[in-house]
Amino acid sequence: MVRASLIRCCIWRYKNLTRPGTAMSFSLRLRLHYKAARAGGVKSQPGITMGRRYRRRRNNLGSVVTDVVRVASRLPWWGALLVGIFAYLVIHIGLGGYLEGQLAAQTGSQFYPILEVRNGRFIRLASWVGHACLLAGAFFAIRNHFFGANAQRTEKGIVGVVARILGRSID
């Protein structure tokens, strides 16, 4: 009842105050539109934002661990294990091995020290992410075998953090 009257009020204001020829600021129109959308139960619309949001730049390869945790938590135990092993093979063995091969091919080059520094970081990052994905897949394989695939959001976050920490210490 309250939502309907709020929506009617916002629509009336919008129609009467935004007629052609009235000098009304765009921000007021946006606020009225935002109130009507929020009152109607719409959670988010792309064009309706009242302020800028700070978005922290994240490592694209590091977000793979979050994706593996999300996928592995929803699969049966054998699916979670396969996802962890596949991610390990693709990231650590595939990407890391490819970068090491490219580095080894440039051994006699005058740019070898530069490439060693640049590719060395990516090789270590690929190793870390591969180990973290394997650990997350193994954890959810054991967990889903005994408890089923119904992990909560907080559990997924904790597993992601622990997998990243342990992935750094495994060599």
Q: Cite the beta strand spans of the chain per DSSP E.
A: none
Res 137: pLDDT = 92
Res 143: pLDDT = 87
Report which of residues 132 and 152 the model is more confident about.
132
Question: How far is 87 from 64, CA to CA, in rounded Å?
Answer: 9
Residue 1, pLDDT above cutoff 60: no
> What global pTM score does this model have?
0.61
Give me the mean pLDDT over the 24-41 stretch. 54
Tens of pLDDT, residues 119-148: 988 998 899 889 989 999 998 899 888 887
Res 99: pLDDT = 92
Res 56: pLDDT = 61
pLDDT band at 101 (very low <50, low <70, confident <90, very high): very high
Spans of all domains in the chain: 1-55, 63-169
Two tokens, residue 99: 């970068």
pLDDT band at 98 (very low <50, low <70, confident <90, very high): very high
List, as own/partner pairs, every contact residues 121-125 make where C-beta atoms lie below 8 angstroms and the sequence separation is at least 24, other chains included. 122/95, 123/96, 123/99, 125/59, 125/61, 125/62
